[in-house]
Structure 1
Amino acid sequence: MIRRYLVVCFMIVAALTVSACGKIEDQSAGGSLGGPVKQFTVHARSTGYDLQEIKVKRGDTVKITLKNDQGMHSLKIKGYNKEVRGGKSITFVADKAGEFVYSCNISCGKNHKQMTGKLIVK
């Protein structure tokens, strides 16, 4: 009887552990993210980003993937202190309303200063 009880307890603990593994975590904020994820892929070339504006609502979970089509680039969002380099993604909660400039944080050539866009959080 005790053996059966231990097996059942073990199975319950195992099921709870496995179900917790699917949770998305924002490592920088230390909290769980909720709701659907708004996903954006930004392509970077030496002439700039293909996506000049990213619009989301306050409280949205945002995932930005940066693809370097030409050269080495990054995308840093001022005011959120978030940065992603080519071939990688970042995920965060847009918890501050406003317009936040993003730009390349790697000196990438003569058009470096033109590599900008805006994250707009309403």
Structure 2
Amino acid sequence: MMKKALFMCMLAAFVMVIAACGSNNKNNDKSPENAGNGVETTGSASSQEVVIKASSWKFDKQEYTIKKGEPVKLTLESVSGVHGIEVSDLDVKLGSGDSKVITINDAGEYEFHCNIQCGTGHKKMVAKLVVE
């Protein structure tokens, strides 16, 4: 009986640690982390929406195209597993289920990757955000 109670306590502690590791990075209104890099984070309505779907070591597309200077709502959906994305050149991060409205003022290709260690194929989880 004592071993079962100890096991249940350890399991509960493990679940809480895993839950605390999730990303909850929701930026609003031109956050300092995005200042000066061609990205504006706003709470305003977007004219476009891009849903990035992540599953076992891949994204649903290799490239996602958006228009320069127009607000876009980025959303990350984890179809299987737990994933996050990071667009390093833009200081944009999303956790599973997160959305963020951003405006990218500089045309180009911006590579993003899964920023949560999700298994053996984690390093292959790379795609591009193409801004035209």
Please, what TM-score do these two structures have when normalized by structure 2? 0.65
Alpha-carbon contact 1:26-1:91 (below 8 Å) kept: no
Q: Which has the larger radius of gyration?
A: 1
Query: What CA RMSD, in Å, does the superposition of the two structures yield over aligned residues?
Result: 2.1
Q: Which of 66, 77, 80 is the matching residue for 2:87?
A: 77
Q: Which residue of 2 aligns with 1:40?
A: 50
Tell me the equivalent position of 2:68.
58
1:33 touches 1:93 (CA, 8 Å); kept in 2? Answer: no
Contact 1:101/1:117, CA 8 A, preserved across alignment? yes
- Aligned residue type for 1:47: W
Corresponding position of 2:20: none
CA distance in structure 2 between the aligned counterparts of 1:82 and 1:95, rounded to whole angstroms: 14
String of CA shifts for 1:66-113, please: whole Å, max 9, x gaps: 111111100111211101011111111011211100100111111101
Distance in 2 separating the partners of 1:69 and 1:115: 14
**Which consecutive residues of structure 2, in runs of 5 or more, have no partner in the other structure?**
1-27, 32-39
- Runs of 4+ residues over 3 Å off in structure 1: 29-34
SS at 2:68 equivalent: coil
Whole-Å separation in 2 of the counterparts to 1:32 and 1:114 = 32
Is 1:119 equivalent to 2:129 in the alignment? yes
- 1:54–1:120 CA contact under 8 A, matched in 2: yes
